[in-house]
């Protein structure tokens, strides 16, 4: 793989044939969109311009993004708006729980913008959403995709105490590229978040994800896998970085589906319990394919 330095003016490689997104035709897509609008909810599917939103919404699934749609960070890969956030909406947990019930979900993913303006980073809001969903349906599998909370163990504990089955925090990229790709976040801090999550709640499944095609090398990918396994991470997702707008970091390289398959096999051999690896794989893509052992 290329080790080229990322330059915002870098010529973009031609998008290959395997990067295809089908437009919606299933009526379920439109009913999902209407429900989300009706309950005044945000999804990372729309805010982050996820390439799979047509497929997922057509299957009646979505990843809910809580605590607003304004992020306090400005990562070079992310399409979510960076701005001063609004106040938290006190009834949002109940609205998310209602959406989960109306969509008849068995596995729900809850994520959030980074809220560095809040003392707890939004941890208590995460906990309220988890408990509202659990009150509505005790059998549902709840997965959270959380920011780093500045590796504050008290915030991590607040989320874990609410009882999610899966605690996901993304590394996003390899260590060398982290300062360029991520805003404020640090590679070692993210590893510490995953380490503490596993230590604080050993029965909770920990999960992380990385994007490829930003200029990382194969040894760096394998080192990131090893680092994640060293902190007890059990589930890994790997997908192709796609530039959301010309103002974001360019794609350095498009990784072939065959190469993604190879990386997936290597990750499994390194001990990950579940791996999703492919060009259009994202953190929440087919999240329900992994079934954690019941507590």
CATH superfamily assigned to domain 27-289: Aldolase class I (3.20.20.70)
The two tokens of residue 174 are 């390899």
* Residue 12 reports pLDDT greater than 60: yes
Domain boundaries along the sequence of the chain: 27-289
Task: Please tell me the predicted confidence (pLDDT) of residue 78.
Answer: 81
> How are the residues of the chain apportioned to helix, strand and coil, as percentages rounded to the nearest 5?
35, 15, 50
Global confidence as pTM: 0.87
Q: Say which residue the tokens 């780093």 belong to.
A: 148
pLDDT category of residue 285 using cuts at 50, 70 and 90: low
Q: State the pairing for strand pair 42-43/81-82.
A: unpaired
Positions of E strands within the chain = 42-43, 63-66, 70-71, 81-82, 107-112, 141-145, 166-168, 205-212, 235-240, 274-277
Task: Please tell me the predicted confidence (pLDDT) of residue 283.
Answer: 79
Q: How far is CA 268 from CA 181, 186, 256, 281, in A?
A: 26, 26, 19, 16
Q: What is the pLDDT of residues 88-135, one digit of tens each?
A: 999 999 999 998 888 888 888 899 999 999 999 999 999 999 999 999
Q: Taking all residues of the chain, what is their mean pLDDT, rounded to a whole number?
A: 86
User: Considering the chain, what percentage of its residues have pLDDT values greater than 70?
Assistant: 82
Q: What is the pLDDT of residues 26-59, one digit of tens each?
A: 566 566 667 777 777 767 555 445 555 555 544 5
* Residue 1 reports pLDDT greater than 70: no
* Residue 177 reports pLDDT greater than 80: yes
């Amino acid at each position: 793989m290329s080790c080229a330095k990322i330059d915002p003016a870098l010529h973009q490689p031609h998008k290959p044939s395997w990067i295809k997104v089908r437009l919606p035709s299933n009526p379920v897509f439109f009913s999902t969109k209407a429900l989300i609008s009706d309950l005044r909810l945000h999804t990372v599917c729309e805010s982050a311009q996820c390439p799979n939103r047509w497929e997922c919404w057509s299957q009646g699934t979505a990843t809910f993004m809580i605590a607003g749609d304004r992020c306090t960070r400005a990562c070079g890969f992310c399409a979510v708006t960076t701005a001063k956030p609004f106040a938290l909406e006190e009834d949002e947990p109940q609205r998310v729980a209602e959406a989960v019930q109306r969509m008849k979900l068995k596995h729900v993913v809850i994520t959030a913008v980074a809220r560095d303006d809040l003392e707890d980073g939004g941890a208590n809001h995460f906990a309220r959403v988890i408990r509202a969903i659990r009150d509505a349906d005790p059998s549902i599998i709840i997965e959270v995709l959380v920011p780093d909370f500045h590796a504050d163990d008290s915030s991590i504990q607040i989320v874990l105490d609410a009882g999610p089955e899966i605690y996901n925090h993304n590394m996003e990229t390899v260590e060398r590229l982290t300062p360029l790709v991520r805003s404020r976040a640090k590679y070692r801090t993210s590893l510490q978040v995953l380490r503490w999550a596993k230590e604080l709640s050993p029965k909770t499944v920990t999960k992380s994800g990385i994007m490829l095609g930003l200029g990382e090398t194969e040894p760096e990918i394998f080192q990131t896998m090893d680092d994640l396994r060293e902190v007890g991470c059990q589930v890994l997702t790997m997908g192709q970085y796609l530039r959301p707008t010309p103002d974001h970091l360019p794609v350095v390289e498009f990784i072939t589906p065959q190469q993604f398959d190879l990386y997936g096999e290597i990750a499994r051999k390194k001990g990950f319990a579940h791996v999703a690896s492919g060009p259009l794989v994202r953190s929440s893509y087919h999240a329900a394919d992994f079934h954690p052992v019941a507590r």
